[in-house]
Structure 1
């Protein structure tokens, strides 16, 4: 008899799954307003912290829009797209994240190498801005998945290789899901976010200095460090 391993789910993942099922059943549609944080917590018998964490994930994935003082709304997308995107989120388990990070290592270490060779002054400004946004989010103790993603996209854009950009965009939803999981784990470990931030800064400096081999090495090591948290 062959048993299938049971993957541990955090409470926020269960909240996301409940919302996905409501979308799938047509109970929630694009543009609909979700119940308040307190109402969701009571209805699902979970803590408000778990609801907040779930909303952060969904917002990072552009599935909900959080309007302070107004409410939380399902993004204005065709419902079938919402279902597909949420299914991708639910399917991203630890083994999937390892596979995804291996793909990212292959693509992004080469991207960092090429960016160091081909980057222009405008690319450095974009990278510096992306790094600044990431730094500010880390200092506010936020998950900063989108800011992290924007930095990596800026690296790929500096390669001037449209096929590399297509590859990254093809995987963009999975990339964001993986980044959220990665950064939500980092934020729980004291001092880890500062280390991750330093890794991004060193990648930026290697690209700025046009040190292609160092840029490749640092990007590989950065993603290897991310990967190590899932073994």
Structure 2
């Protein structure tokens, strides 16, 4: 039986948002965060929720509390965190290849587990993603958001909270690699339609619960996306 995935509570969501703002440079090392009162008013939650969120940031090593002075930023990244910088990746072909290797492993196995565990609701969500990608292509748009939602929905369909969390963690980086590949493919006649066909193949195999076929289709899609950028990935 598929396990339901626990959604982050409010304090976790706020802590994640504040961590992202710190990582993006909105708050510098040594800078004091807004007070509990200010954060509670601007975000619209109780001070108790803000206090719990700040406590989580302390546990992650991002801030340090000073008695009577508030919380000060001590690091731009959580202790022991795994993070990619999309600004560096975009201009570094070696790092971009490594991101696609990560996608190859992550999305390939995710598609296999999704084929094994997907629900009817997952299939409906994936079908809507395909429709959105198709509509974007016909309208001349890049389809990036719908594309990422498709892969994120596959991650949720695995029923594995850690796979979903990793996809969410790497969201900006994966979306960035998709954006680069999509801009490249849109400049060639027939390429966007080929990308859509690759997504449909993944969907069909997940729908039919063909585990290895779904895994292979997802890996093939990532390798083709890399080839469209002139990159070589895969064993």
Q: TM-score, normalised by structure 1?
A: 0.61
Deviation at 1:96, TM superposition (A): 2.0
For these two proteins, the number of residue pairs brought into alignment is: 153
* 8 Å Cα contact 1:89/1:174 also seen in 2: no
Question: Once structures 1 and 2 are overlaid, which stretch shifts more, 89-98 or 141-150?
Answer: 89-98
Deviation string for 1:57-114 (max 9, x for gaps)? xxxxxxxxxxxxxxxxxxxxxxxx9xxx9x6335423322211111011011100001
User: For 1:148-187, what aligned pairs fall within 5 Å after superposition?
Assistant: 148-187=147-186
Where do 5+ consecutive residues of structure 1 fail to align? 1-22, 25-80
Question: Corresponding residue for 2:38?
Answer: none
The Cα RMSD (Å) is: 2.5
Question: Corresponding residue for 2:135?
Answer: 136
Q: Which has the larger radius of gyration?
A: 2
Where do 5+ consecutive residues of structure 2 fail to align? 1-23, 26-75, 77-82
* 8 Å Cα contact 2:115/2:206 also seen in 1: yes
1: CA distance, partners of 2:211 / 2:138: 29
Deviation at 1:146, TM superposition (A): 1.1
* 8 Å Cα contact 1:116/1:207 also seen in 2: yes
Deviation string for 1:165-215 (max 9, x for gaps)? 111111111111111101000000110000010010111010001111100
* 8 Å Cα contact 1:89/1:177 also seen in 2: no
Question: Corresponding residue for 1:100?
Answer: 99
Q: 1:89 aligns with which of 84, 87, 90?
A: 87
Question: Corresponding residue for 2:216?
Answer: 217
Change in Cα spacing, 1:145 to 1:89, as seen in structure 2 (3 Å) is: farther
1: CA distance, partners of 2:165 / 2:100: 17
